[in-house]
């Protein structure tokens, strides 16, 4: 079944988009994407709409760092850092390459990122959900994000506080564009 990708913009969803792999501001220090367009399949988009609404109800806004990731980009990330604790092998495929994953954080009412204990793409045990090596405030903020996303129907990846995906991710086809 061919999946249709929906472009996410601030005009169709109340979020901030900062596609890090479209810039040099990422762990590779290289631009991986040709542009900063942000996409998800329709089902994932619908869950993100719910998450955005829940976040707003509790005084936050979602900021997106990554969503759909072309397989060619997945291969570049893997070649730079081939570690399955954090990067899916391009052979197996990433939930991002299926259009069903988002990397996000929360912004406060002044649109500042709230403290999550590490930056996005910090590839260490400090990034794990449940890490006790971060401040109490950051731990609570991660729990808030986890609550918002799981209430909206997302599954989480235990090694990255910022990564959420639809359940049964491998049941979705890889998208080749």
Domain boundaries, the chain: 5-171
As a whole number of angstroms, the distance between CA 175 and CA 4 comes to: 9
Q: What pTM does this model have?
A: 0.96
Catalytic (active site) residue 160? yes
What is the per-residue pLDDT for 2?
66
CATH of domain 5-171: 3.30.1380.10
On the question of pLDDT at 1 being above 80, the answer is: no
Contact by Cβ (8 Å): 102, 51: no
Instruction: Kindly name the residue from 84, 85, 113, 160 that is annotated as catalytic.
Output: 160
The tens digit of pLDDT for each residue in 119-173 reads 999 999 999 999 999 999 999 999 999 999 999 999 999 999 999 999 999 999 9
As a whole number of angstroms, the distance between CA 157 and CA 155 comes to: 7
Helices 136-151, 42-57: inter-axial angle, 10-degree rounding: 130
| pLDDT, average across residues 48-70 | 98
Tell me phi and psi for residue 27, to 5 degrees. Answer: -65, -20
Neighbours of 60 (CB within 10 A): 20
Contact by Cβ (8 Å): 159, 131: no
Residue with tokens 């991002």: 96
């Amino acid at each position: 079944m061919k999946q249709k990708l929906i472009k996410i913009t601030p005009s169709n969803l109340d979020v901030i988009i900062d596609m890090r792999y479209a810039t040099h501001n990422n762990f590779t220090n290289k631009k991986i994407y040709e542009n900063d367009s942000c996409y998800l399949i329709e089902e994932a988009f619908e869950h993100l709409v719910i998450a955005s609404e829940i976040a707003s109800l509790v005084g936050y806004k979602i900021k997106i760092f990554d969503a759909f990731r072309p397989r060619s980009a997945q291969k570049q990330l893997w070649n730079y850092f081939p570690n399955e604790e954090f990067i899916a092998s391009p052979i197996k495929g990433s939930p991002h390459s299926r259009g069903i994953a988002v990397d996000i954080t929360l912004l406060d009412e002044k649109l500042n990122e709230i403290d999550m204990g590490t930056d996005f793409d910090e590839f260490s045990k400090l990034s794990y959900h449940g890490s006790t090596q971060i401040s109490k405030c950051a731990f609570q903020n991660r729990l808030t994000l986890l609550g918002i996303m799981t209430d909206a129907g997302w599954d989480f990846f235990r090694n990255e506080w910022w990564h959420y995906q639809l359940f049964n991710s491998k049941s979705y086809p890889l998208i080749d564009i």
